[in-house]
Structure formats: structure tokens, C-alpha cells
């Protein structure tokens, strides 16, 4: 067993495994998975191919591990948004939408890592596919839960619509076909929440 917090030799450097994952993150996101060779990752991480293969069985496993981290980041953001509006599912839903909307400018250059990766990995048995599908399913279930808590009629449909819109906004931002996608995304999600709100409900209050 290695000590839990290793101290790097002399420079203030992260341990190799973290540097590799950071470098992979940057390169996979900006260039795509298949365009990036293991050697390029090693160079950017200031290490060698051998070091990479000491920490990850194959390149495919490294890809999967990267996506696991990205998925965990999204879940953490989801958690944070929920914690900011305790007991207010409507604000939680809009908060999630806001989180995605705010991320759109950064995404505009290369888009959503899950959407892009699934396009690059047609093989359904690829380890990264499992990560993506599990993540998407968790996110959807979580959104259904929020919609149900918000008392929306037909929470599954509402969650599906919101999911469509969140994904579509990222795609449309990436291909540049629509302007002000963030703002439009927020209006769209508000429209969906409105549409499925139980009759007589007033925006902004879930329990009187």
C-alpha cells in the first residue's frame, strides 16, 4: 500500500496518477478521445507512457476513469444546487438548469463530454459506455424525483422534456445554430415547469 497522501519529490507537483488524469481531461475534452494518443497524454502530464500503463490497464480504462470523474463532478454540482434550495424542488430544478446554462459558454467550443464520447465509442461494450449510461440514468431518475417533489403532473414526462432541452441546448451551442442559448434554455425550462404545475399553484412556493 502506498501512503494516502504522497509527497512529490521536490517540485510542487501532483502525484503522477493525478497529473495523468488532468492531462487526459484536457486533451480528451478539447481534441476528442481517438485523436489523442497515449504519448501525448504522457507529454502533457510530464511523465511517460510507461507510467500511464502502470496506473491504468489500457487506454480505454483511462477513458472510463476520466468519465467517472466528470460524472462525479456533475453529481457534486447537482448536490450543491439542491443544498442551496432545501425543500424547494422548483428552485432546485431551475438551479440545475442554471448550472447547465452557465456552463454553456465554456462548452461552446467542444460540447458535452458525454455526448461527444458516446459518439466516438460506438462499441456498446466499451467500459466508458457503462459509465455514461449509468450517469445519464441516475441524472434522469434524480430529475424525475425533483419533478415529483415539486408536485408536477406527470413527473416522468416533465423530466424527459427537461432532459431533452438540457442536452439539446448543449448540442445547439456547440454547432452555433442558435444565439443566446443560455437565456433561451432557462426560459424553456421555466415553460416546462409552468406547464406541468398543478392547477392553482403559485410560482416560488411549494408548501404554504
Partner DNA sequence: CCTTGGTGATACCGCTCGGTATCGTGTGGA
Partner DNA sequence: TCCACACGATACCGAGCGGTATCACCAAGG
Q: Does 59 bind DNA (CB under 7 A)?
A: yes
Q: Does 49 bind DNA (CB under 7 A)?
A: yes
Q: Measured from the CB of residue 87, what is the shortest distance to its own copies in angstroms?
A: 27
Between helices 155-175 and 127-149, what is the axis angle to 10°? 130
CA atoms within a 13 Å half-sphere pointing along the CA-CB vector of 10: 0
Q: Does 136 bind its own copies (CB under 8 A)?
A: yes
Distance CA 127, CA 132 (A): 9
Which of its own copies, DNA, none does 137 bind, CB closer than 5 to 8 A by kind? its own copies
Which of DNA, its own copies, none does 30 bind, CB closer than 5 to 8 A by kind? its own copies
Distance CA 122, CA 29 (A): 18
Q: Does 123 bind DNA (CB under 7 A)?
A: no
Residue 157, burial from CB neighbour count under 10 angstroms (0-12, 13-18, 19+) = middle
Q: Does 133 bind its own copies (CB under 8 A)?
A: yes
Residue 5, burial from CB neighbour count under 10 angstroms (0-12, 13-18, 19+) = exposed
Distance CA 161, CA 117 (A): 23
**For its own copies, which residue of 45, 67, 70, 169 counts as binding (CB under 8 A)?**
169
Binding residues vs its own copies (CB under 8 A): 30-32, 34-35, 110-111, 114-120, 122, 132-133, 136-137, 139-140, 157, 160-161, 163-169, 171-172, 174-178, 181, 184-185, 187-188, 191-192, 195
Amino acid at each position: 500500500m502506498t501512503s494516502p497522501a504522497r509527497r512529490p519529490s521536490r517540485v510542487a507537483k501532483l502525484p503522477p496518477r493525478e497529473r495523468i488524469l488532468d492531462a487526459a481531461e484536457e486533451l480528451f475534452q478539447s481534441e476528442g478521445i481517438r485523436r489523442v494518443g497515449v504519448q501525448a497524454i504522457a507529454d502533457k502530464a510530464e511523465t511517460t507512457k510507461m507510467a500511464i500503463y502502470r496506473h491504468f490497464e489500457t487506454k480505454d480504462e483511462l477513458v472510463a476513469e476520466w468519465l467517472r470523474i466528470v460524472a462525479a463532478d456533475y453529481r457534486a454540482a447537482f448536490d450543491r444546487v439542491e443544498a442551496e434550495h432545501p425543500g424547494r424542488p422548483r428552485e432546485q430544478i431551475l438551479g440545475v438548469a442554471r448550472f447547465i446554462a452557465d456552463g454553456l459558454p465554456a462548452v461552446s467550443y467542444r460540447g458535452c463530454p458525454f455526448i461527444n464520447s458516446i459518439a466516438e465509442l460506438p462499441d456498446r461494450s466499451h467500459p466508458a459506455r457503462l459509465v455514461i449510461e449509468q450517469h445519464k440514468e441516475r441524472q434522469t431518475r434524480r430529475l424525475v424525483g425533483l419533478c415529483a417533489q415539486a408536485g408536477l403532473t406527470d413527473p416522468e414526462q416533465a423530466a424527459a422534456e427537461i432532459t431533452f432541452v438540457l442536452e439539446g441546448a448543449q448540442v445547439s451551442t456547440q454547432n452555433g445554430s442558435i444565439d443566446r442559448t443560455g437565456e433561451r434554455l432557462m426560459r424553456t425550462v421555466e415553460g416546462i415547469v409552468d406547464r406541468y404545475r398543478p392547477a392553482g399553484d403559485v410560482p416560488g412556493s411549494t408548501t404554504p
